[in-house]
């Protein structure tokens, strides 16, 4: 059993009204935009099920946008985010949908800008979140760890090249999730780490042949 911490109970300090629908939304937005890795020109937020039904009343729409813009869960400006200059820098729209094959609090971020990327995630309770898909690839990212997300061409030796470079830093891999569309096609890896990686290693990983996307996604503040 995972140890229960005092700070699971007497935090986070956050803007209300709901840990799953407000704080969770901000955290999903932060993770998704870190995975996108740049300021998008346009974001379409697709909210599903409970997120769609009660999202507006809980400020879920505001929270998601705030997260994408890099606001923290305790930023009181979130309430008025639609009127802030930061929000006017990008185009955004919200779609409210129903799909009972999806989690009750599911969201897709469709980023457009220098490239297009779709990031999907769920708010799983008490402000905890999970990113489940990036461009359709299965991943497992909670913000609990510093993580590395890579998308590359499926071919022998890629996992060992990447993990080898991580090893040179002496950083331990906590969990590793791989996925691919088909043999020899696109593949993805989501690596949760026990420490942050140095910039230089990330640059080395980027230089491996046939890497399409390399993102270091920082741990979320607890």
Partner 1 sequence: MWENWKVNMKNEINTFSDLLLICGQKNKRAYELVQEKEAFLLDTSIDEIRLKVKKSLDAMKNAIKIGLKSDEKSISKQCGDDCKKLQEGFKAHPALFGDLFEKITTYALATIEENLRMGKIVACPTAGSCAIVPAVLIAISEKFNISEDEQINALITAGLIGSIVQTKVSLAGAVAGCQAECGVASAMSAGALVQILGGKEKQIVHSAALALKNILGLTCDPVAGLVEIPCVKRNAFLAVHAVTAAELALAGIESKIPPDEVIDALTQTGQLMSPLLKECSQAGLAKTKTALKIEQKIFNR
Contacts with partner 1 by CB under 8 A lie at 1, 3-20, 22-23, 50, 53-54, 56-59, 62, 74, 76, 78-79, 104, 125-127
| Choice between 18 and 34, CB closer to partner 1 | 18
Angle between helices 24-36 and 60-68 (to 10 degrees): 30
| Choice between 11 and 167, CB closer to partner 1 | 11
Separation between Cα atoms, residue 171 and residue 197, nearest integer Å:
7
Provide the CB-side half-sphere exposure for 179 (13 A, CA): 17
Residue 148 in contact with residue 166, Cβ under 8 Å?
yes
Minimum distance between the CB of residue 44 and partner 1, rounded to whole angstroms?
Answer: 22
Minimum distance between the CB of residue 173 and partner 1, rounded to whole angstroms?
Answer: 19
**Cβ neighbourhood burial of 163 (10 Å; 0-12, 13-18, 19+):** middle
Separation between Cα atoms, residue 167 and residue 159, nearest integer Å:
12
| Choice between 77 and 133, CB closer to partner 1 | 77
| Choice between 23 and 187, CB closer to partner 1 | 23
| Choice between 54 and 138, CB closer to partner 1 | 54
Minimum distance between the CB of residue 75 and partner 1, rounded to whole angstroms?
Answer: 8
Minimum distance between the CB of residue 9 and partner 1, rounded to whole angstroms?
Answer: 4
Minimum distance between the CB of residue 143 and partner 1, rounded to whole angstroms?
Answer: 16
CA 177-153-209 angle, 5° bins: 110
| Choice between 4 and 101, CB closer to partner 1 | 4
Separation between Cα atoms, residue 52 and residue 162, nearest integer Å:
39
Separation between Cα atoms, residue 222 and residue 25, nearest integer Å:
14
Minimum distance between the CB of residue 157 and partner 1, rounded to whole angstroms?
Answer: 36
Residue 48 in contact with residue 99, Cβ under 8 Å?
yes
**Cβ neighbourhood burial of 61 (10 Å; 0-12, 13-18, 19+):** buried
| Choice between 62 and 204, CB closer to partner 1 | 62
Separation between Cα atoms, residue 121 and residue 29, nearest integer Å:
9
């Amino acid at each position: 059993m995972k140890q229960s911490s005092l700070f699971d109970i007497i935090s986070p300090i956050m803007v209300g009204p709901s840990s799953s629908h407000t704080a969770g939304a901000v955290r999903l937005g932060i993770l998704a935009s870190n995975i996108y890795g740049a300021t998008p020109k346009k974001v379409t937020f697709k909210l599903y099920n409970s997120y769609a039904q009660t999202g507006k009343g809980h400020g879920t729409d505001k929270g998601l946008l705030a997260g994408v813009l890099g606001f923290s869960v305790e930023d009181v400006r979130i309430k008025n985010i639609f009127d802030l200059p930061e929000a006017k820098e990008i185009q955004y729209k919200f779609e409210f949908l129903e799909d009972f094959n999806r989690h009750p609090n599911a969201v897709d971020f469709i980023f457009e800008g220098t490239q297009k990327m779709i990031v999907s995630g769920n708010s799983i309770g008490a402000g905890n979140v999970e990113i489940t898909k990036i461009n359709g690839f299965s991943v497992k990212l909670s913000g609990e760890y510093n993580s590395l997300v890579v998308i590359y061409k499926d071919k022998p030796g890629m996992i060992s090249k990447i993990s080898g470079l991580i090893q040179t830093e002496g950083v331990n891999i906590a969990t590793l999730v791989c996925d691919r569309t088909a043999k020899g096609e696109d593949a993805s890896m989501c690596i949760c780490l026990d420490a942050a990686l140095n910039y230089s290693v990330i640059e080395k990983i980027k230089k491996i042949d046939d890497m399409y996307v390399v993102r270091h996604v920082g741990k979320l503040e607890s």
